[in-house]
Amino acid sequence: MRIIESILREDELERESEEDPNYGNSVLLQYLEFFGEQLEESMRKFLKDVHVLDRHHLKSLKEKEKLELHVEGDPYLKYGWPALLPRLFFKLVHMFGYPSLKVSIGYESSFRYLFEYKGHIIELRDHEGGIVFYHLTPYSVEQEDNVTPLKGAEEILKEFAENLLRIVMDVTPLHYGGTKILL
């Protein structure tokens, strides 16, 4: 096989794997399999409670469950740490795979992830050099007028953000090019 054909085929295979439902969760499971024992117990427990949501999950919410996301009053947290963005994104890719959601509505972002954590949906993205965590409350389209954020939304959002930012700040084992690195 020629070089260009080989590169294009490898790229195609990678894109196909990113399209698979549960791509991010399978990357996370692999990460925990390889490095779970090297993580602190609290970090391992946190990562086991995290589920990556992708377009397949969103389609299911919209079509099967007739749900929508985000209600007035949903909390958010923004951290203005532009120097951490490359480190955060590098670790996110190694732990959760490349973000499958490529579009940010109304905002220019380099990355966007949706997570389910303890029954809550949390969006993580970069925005204007900051790291932003949004709580997204699912609600039935029929009950759109009487919806409030889920109980405990602020506490769960804060807990999720603190745990994820601790991953960024702490030395974390990663698999890079066939070699374990600590970043």
For residue 11, pLDDT over 90 is answered with: no
For residue 57, pLDDT over 90 is answered with: no
- Decide: residue 98, CB within 10 A, 0-12 exposed, 13-18 middle, 19+ buried: middle
Greater confidence (129 vs 16) lies with 129
For residue 160, pLDDT over 80 is answered with: yes
Averaged pLDDT, 116-135: 92
Domain coordinates in residue numbering, the chain? 21-182
- The three-state (H, E, C) secondary structure of 101-130, written as one string: CCCCCCCCCCCEEEEEECCEEEEEEEECCE
pLDDT at 58: 78
For the beta sheet containing 50-53, the strands, ordered from the edge strand earlier in sequence to the opposite edge, are 50-53, 112-117, 120-127, 130-136, 76-79
User: Which structure tokens are listed for 155?
Assistant: 């506490």
User: Whole-prediction pTM value?
Assistant: 0.83
- The single residue listed with the structure tokens 């490529």 is 102
Coil, strand or helix: which one is 150?
A: coil
pLDDT averaged over the chain?
84
For residue 163, pLDDT over 80 is answered with: yes
